Structure 1
């Protein structure tokens, strides 16, 4: 069995969460390959350097472009993949959106969000259009569709005409070698030296898109500040929606809390560890998530968590976080104060919950799906 994994949707200059996902998954799957099984990674010349040092059984298929040239990358997926993959003897193609012409005997789709339908404003017009066209086609063409939560299952079934039997629920995971407890004081010293973060604080980590609801958190922080014993708010994440990021700063000024907020900007994913270790509470008040991996990353570092009571977040938190209504700043404020009060109990529950999610387990189940669709296809021949 030869599996091709589409990694072209990542931009080498701005690695996404998908890059983190696959750089953890590929080594784990490679270590479990049986005789006669191979992984072939679809990369561009620029993105190939991001995928080095993998075990035997992993090779590359080089395409002209990855997501640094989004339109050309899309064109190459649609036109070149159906020609190139058969030449490489690919049995299973793992991708987000399937080409119109089937490029391999079996296709496995990885759906991580339905943002094109649930939060369309978070996507550019071209991306939204491509996904609203591509997702229904992919749902019909795929032999199996991997999803990461029951919440995403309900969204897929709501927005796409898809056979429910195709859906395979495989949760994402935490890299416990990176996200683990550490000395909060040492972490705080590093944050002071690198980012000018001072004192105790409430933490937000996410790209600044409107649906992530940092504005709701700022309103909640303003409402709770008198009871937070001088704690500040630290916002970590790139302002990908620049207009929204500007509105957040204006909101903080209007609420009189601008001097209590530290805007860190984007940091590498592994750089968030010190923030989680040093924070008193991590708040993730998003309106819509299909998994919410930062919830588990914070828990794995021993940080108490507040998150939303909707979408996939209660499912991911598994009873180890304080839940709040993301539409109600007073609810978020109350949850933050509650998390501060029961911090130690939340830390213990969070560590236990995060420990249930490992990349090895996720990789094993994903490889089983590839084997399943390959065996089914061979049985039909």
Structure 2
């Protein structure tokens, strides 16, 4: 069995959550390959260096572009894949959206989000149109569709005409070697030197799209500020220089909390663990998530979590976080105060236990088993 995995949809200069996902899942799958099973990674000359050292069962198929050139990358997926992948004898192709011509007998797709429908403002108009045109056909021709939550299953069946039997729930996971409890004082000292964070703080980690609801968190923080004392609000994530970030800065000024908000911007994912360890509470008040991985990352470090009571967040939190209505800043503020107070120790213990239920090894094993099932259903090698 030869499986091709499309890694072209990531920009090597600005790696996304998808990059983190595959760099954790591929090594785990590689260690479980048996017999003549192989993984073939679709990479570009600029992305290849990010996907090396996986072992003898993992090979590269080089395409001209990855997502640093989105239109050219998309064209190559549709035009080059049906020509190139048969040359490597590919049996199963794993991608996000189906090419116009099927490049392999088996087709597995990952639906990571349906933001083209659920959060259209977060997707460029051209990309939104392309996805809305591609999703229905992809759902129709795929042999299997990987989803990461029951919430996403609900969205897929709401927006797409899809055979429910095609949907396979495989949750994401936490890198427990990185995201684990550590010395909070050391973390606070490091953040003080690097980012000027001088006081205890409430933490937000996310890209600054409107649906992530940083605006609601600013309002909640302002409402709870009299009881939060000298705590700061630390905002970590890409988009610091974008138009929405400017709106958020204006809102902080209107609320009178500008001096209490630290806008960190994007940091390497390996550095976010320091913020989780040092924070009094992590708040994730998003309006829409298909999984909400930062919830588990925070829990795995022992940081109490407050998150939304809608979408996938209650499912991911699994009873180990305080839930609040993301449209109600006062409710978010009260949950923050509770998490910083008497509920803190209980949330910490529940969160550590919940995060331990998720591992990349389990995610990889289930994904590889799905490839095997599709391969067998398609009659094995051509």
TM-score range, shorter chain: over 0.9
Q: Distance in 2 between matches of 1:254 and 1:379?
A: 63
Deviations 1:38-82 (A, max 9, x none): 000000001001111112200000000000000000000000001
Secondary structure of the structure 2 residue equivalent to 1:264: strand
Deviations 1:260-318 (A, max 9, x none): 00110100111100000000000000000000000000000000000000000000000
Residue 332 (structure 2) aligns with: 332
Residue 194 (structure 1) aligns with: 194
Question: Is the Cα contact below 8 Å between 1:208 and 1:241 reproduced in 2?
Answer: no
Q: Does 1:96 align with 2:121?
A: no
Question: Is the Cα contact below 8 Å between 1:209 and 1:241 reproduced in 2?
Answer: no
Question: Is the Cα contact below 8 Å between 1:292 and 1:316 reproduced in 2?
Answer: yes
Q: Distance in 2 between matches of 1:143 and 1:105?
A: 9
RMSD: 1.1
Alignment of 1:1-381 (within 5 A): 1-239=1-239, 242-341=242-341, 342-378=343-379
Deviations 1:307-346 (A, max 9, x none): 0000000000000000000001011001101111211110
CA drift of 1:241 comes to: 7.6
Q: Distance in 2 between matches of 1:93 and 1:240?
A: 36
Secondary structure of the structure 2 residue equivalent to 1:311: coil
Q: Distance in 1 between matches of 2:124 and 2:250?
A: 24
Q: Distance in 2 between matches of 1:173 and 1:111?
A: 16
| Greater alpha carbon shift after TM alignment, 370-379 vs 139-148 | 370-379
The alignment's TM-score, normalised by the length of structure 1, stands at 0.99
Question: Is the Cα contact below 8 Å between 2:2 and 2:39 reproduced in 1?
Answer: yes
Q: Distance in 1 between matches of 2:240 and 2:102?
A: 34
Question: Is the Cα contact below 8 Å between 2:240 and 2:263 reproduced in 1?
Answer: no
Provide closer, same or farther for how the CA distance between residues 105 and 232 of structure 1 changes in structure 2, counting only shifts above 3 A: same
CA drift of 1:380 comes to: 11
Question: Is the Cα contact below 8 Å between 1:236 and 1:264 reproduced in 2?
Answer: yes
CA drift of 1:229 comes to: 2.1
Deviations 1:119-164 (A, max 9, x none): 0010001110111011111111110000000000000000001000
Question: Is the Cα contact below 8 Å between 2:308 and 2:324 reproduced in 1?
Answer: yes
Secondary structure of the structure 1 residue equivalent to 2:204: strand
Q: Distance in 1 between matches of 2:380 and 2:60?
A: 28
Secondary structure of the structure 1 residue equivalent to 2:379: helix
Q: Distance in 1 between matches of 2:359 and 2:184?
A: 24
Secondary structure of the structure 2 residue equivalent to 1:67: coil
Q: Distance in 1 between matches of 2:299 and 2:96?
A: 29
| Greater alpha carbon shift after TM alignment, 56-65 vs 232-241 | 232-241
Question: Is the Cα contact below 8 Å between 2:240 and 2:266 reproduced in 1?
Answer: no
Runs of 4+ deviating beyond 4 Å: none
Q: Distance in 1 between matches of 2:243 and 2:31?
A: 45
Question: Is the Cα contact below 8 Å between 2:27 and 2:54 reproduced in 1?
Answer: yes
Deviations 1:183-228 (A, max 9, x none): 0000000001111111100000000000000000000000000101
Task: Give the total of aligned pairs.
Answer: 381
Q: Distance in 2 between matches of 1:48 and 1:27?
A: 15
CA drift of 1:242 comes to: 1.3
Structure 1: gaps spanning 5 or more residues? none
Question: Is the Cα contact below 8 Å between 2:240 and 2:265 reproduced in 1?
Answer: no
CA drift of 1:379 comes to: 6.9
